[in-house]
Amino acid sequence: MTPARTFRLWPRSLYGQILLVTGSALLLAQCVNAAMLLSGARTRAVAEASVMVVSRVANQLERSERLSEGSATPFIAARDDVGNDRPTRRRNVTIKVDDNALNISSAEYQDDISIRAQEFLRQGEIALSDVRISAVSLNALPPALRDPQIRRWQDGRFRQSARKMPSTAVLLTGRLPNGQFLHAAGLVRPNDRASMIALLLQTFTLFVAVMVPLALVARRIARPLEDLTRRVRRIGVAEDPEPMERAGPDDVQQLIVAFNAMQARVSNLLGEKDVMLGAIGHDLKTPLAALRVRIESVDDDEEREKMASTIDEMVTILDDILTFARLGKSGEPLQSVDIGAIVETVVSDFAQASFETSELRVVSHIRPVLIRRALRNLIGNAIAYGKHAALAVREEDGMIFVDIDDDGPGIDPAMAESMFEPFMRAERSRSRSTGGSGLGLTISRAIARAHGGDVTLQNRTAGGLRATMSFKL
């Protein structure tokens, strides 16, 4: 069963991280910029509406004063004109005079605009004190100030078809010389949809102008690094790869040059090692073969068998050491092979092993001889410590897994990794009768890793140990 893949917000690759960080920074900067632009547009709209309201109030009061000149009660005319029950609606401004002050808790007091409005009225000798200008929600206005604004907007004279109904109004309050309060309200134009579209277009243009070149440059850096990673994983495995071509920026090219030089040195060292191992193997096996011949002259049959067994043990250990040391330079070519067929072939060599066959056909590009050797080592360990080995093949996420289960005592989890160290054995006696040379697991893991996989040990819930060998599909 394939495990569920979790969504990763943070990409693993350098290429993805560069694009994500840059894109996120651009988006954040553009959001801040948009907030500042919208705030500035709203401030300008409030200022424009305030100028309109102040101008209309000044004109109305000047007119009222002219009408009341010579009167004993000069502001009676002003009250008749400004303060009657039917508010004026000229220039989209509603003015009303009331005996009571108007307090709206949610109003946003415009301190600077209020000071400038008071100064403007003072210079024009307009008799209005305690001027206070605020930005308020249209719904928060009293009906006498709000309803004329709504009707004025909806009658189509000042409304544009593409613009929505304003939700904010400017409220001016002040005190007349006769002690009454003057209230005036005007609509604040809403944000223009065209401005929002222009802002979105600006954001899109900025992303294209920055992200496209960045993606090309980042890809030019990331592609050689990906190739370099693949080459590093192949160092010392099978054939010697060709030197990597220089690509990318100068810094990456210098890294590639250094890698090619290192690869050449490693290849030379491995070649010298193989020559040395060949010589050691020849120099050691020759006298061992001579000893094998000489012991035939020993009369004591029991002693002769012991000596022969010792020589065979030395040859086997020597073969294991040479095999382990030569894994990095295997001359066996890669072949497309059915893994199930290989496992079935290896299992047939062991009477105490069984293979759970399935209809699943898994073909992989491997070195069959090395894979067989690794499987034999793992099956041999399972039989030696668990009396029986049960094998199964499965495929998950582009990897092939071969499970080898036994019915033995298991292993201390703290020792699981140390068991892969050369010459390390779970049985400490070092006797050939109770175990091998201590290189079986080491060789198996080296073979699996040469194929892009690994070998792991894990205790089974039902008892026994499970050795899992994996390699790329």
pLDDT computed for residue 75 by the predictor:
40
- Where does 250-325 sit in CATH, by number? 1.10.287
Q: Which residues of 96-115 are buried (b: 16+ CB within 10 A; e: fewer)?
A: bbeeeebeeeebeebeebbe
Give 175-188 pLDDT, tens digit per residue: 998 889 999 999 98
Q: Considering just the CA atoms, what is the radius of gyration of the chain in Å?
A: 45
In sequence order, what are the residues at sequence separation of 6 or more whose Cβ sits closer than 8 angstroms to the Cβ of residue 248? 220, 221, 223, 224, 225, 256
| Distance of alpha carbon 361 from alpha carbon 293, whole angstroms | 49
pLDDT computed for residue 347 by the predictor:
92
pLDDT computed for residue 423 by the predictor:
66
pLDDT computed for residue 69 by the predictor:
56
- What does the DSSP assignment read for 250-287? HHHHHHHHHHHHHHHHHHHHHHHHHHHHHHHHHHHHHH
* Secondary-structure class of domain 332-472 per CATH: alpha beta
Global confidence as pTM: 0.48
Residues of the chain with pLDDT under 70: 1-8, 67-91, 156-163, 192, 236-241, 324-331, 358-360, 423-437
pLDDT computed for residue 397 by the predictor:
83
Domain-wise residue ranges, the chain: 14-194, 250-325, 332-472
Give 437-452 pLDDT, tens digit per residue: 677 888 888 888 888 8
pLDDT computed for residue 86 by the predictor:
44
Q: Give the bridge partners for 363, in sequence order.
A: 338
The pLDDT mean for the chain works out to: 80
Sign for the CA dihedral angle at 424, 429, 430, 433 comes to negative
